[in-house]
Amino acid sequence: MSSLEQALIKITRILKAKKIPYMVIGGVANLFLGVPDRTRDREDVRGIISSRRSKLNRKYLDPIVKDLAGSLTKPDLLEFYRSCFR
């Protein structure tokens, strides 16, 4: 099992245990599901977050996303997340 697979399993177990809805998209979805990668994933995610933003607990989510962005060395993830609430 690759480190990506191990990480995905760990993350999904945590999310399921905390009953936090999640989705797997892009290259990761392609890897696991064999579904062609879609170029509109970011916009799809932005639409989903934006449509539910009043129900999201930002005090809980913000630190998680910030930590995840730092761990993945993907600072644009944090900016993308913040843009969903503008």
Nearest Cα to Cα of residue 81 among 60, 52, 50: 50
Q: Which amino acid belongs to residue 41?
A: D
Domain positions in the chain are 1-38, 39-86
pLDDT of res. 49: 79
Structure token pair of residue 14? 């945590």
The packing angle between helices 41-52 and 75-83, to 10°, is 50
Collapsing DSSP to helix, strand or coil, 68 comes out as: helix
Mean pLDDT of 66-71: 73
**How many angstroms separate the CA atoms of 86 and 79, rounded?**
11
Cut 0.75: pTM above it: no
**How many angstroms separate the CA atoms of 46 and 52, rounded?**
10
Per-range mean pLDDT, top range of 12-21, 25-34, 49-58: 12-21
The model's confidence at residue 75, banded by pLDDT at 50, 70 and 90, is: low
